[in-house]
Amino acid sequence: MVNYTVRPATPRDCADILRLIKELAKFEEMENHVKLTEKGYNIVGYAMYYYTYDAWIGKLLYLEDFYVMEEFRGYGIGSEILKRISQTAVQDHCSSMHFIVADWNHRSINFYKKLGAADLSKKEGWRLFEIKKKHLVKIATEE
């Protein structure tokens, strides 16, 4: 059994959180996309979230990143982090939690489905789009 503590992040955690962000990017084969820098090491998992609103269902919590170092998986750390985030969502009157998962990441997909998550890309046909900054600038400056 591994001893761990789940707690809100503080500014002194930035180095470890960045390390985990880089590990997540490497896991997703997108490590060249991380531009942030920092040094350090003490944390083995993290979750990053924010609140957003949906016109149909109201306030929701959007889980942007969720990662536990591979050697610490299977000890319940991820489940405990997700439990804390779920408690936060309920306390803050969110109607649901949304997030995306890479379609090849079957382990995570199964983890979320086991907890009751619905795959909206299959269930409702939603697709994720991105407009990059250069296009945002173009749109914003068009007359």
How far, in Å, CA of 101 to CA of 105, rounded? Answer: 7
DSSP of 90-107, one letter per residue?
A: HHTT-SEEE----TT-HH
Q: Which of 46, 49, 67, 112 is catalytic?
A: 112
Instruction: Give yes or no for a contact between 121 and 127, defined as CB atoms under 8 angstroms apart.
Output: yes
How far, in Å, CA of 116 to CA of 87, rounded? Answer: 15
Instruction: Give yes or no for a contact between 44 and 33, defined as CB atoms under 8 angstroms apart.
Output: no
Is residue 112 flagged as an active site residue? yes
Active site residues: 112
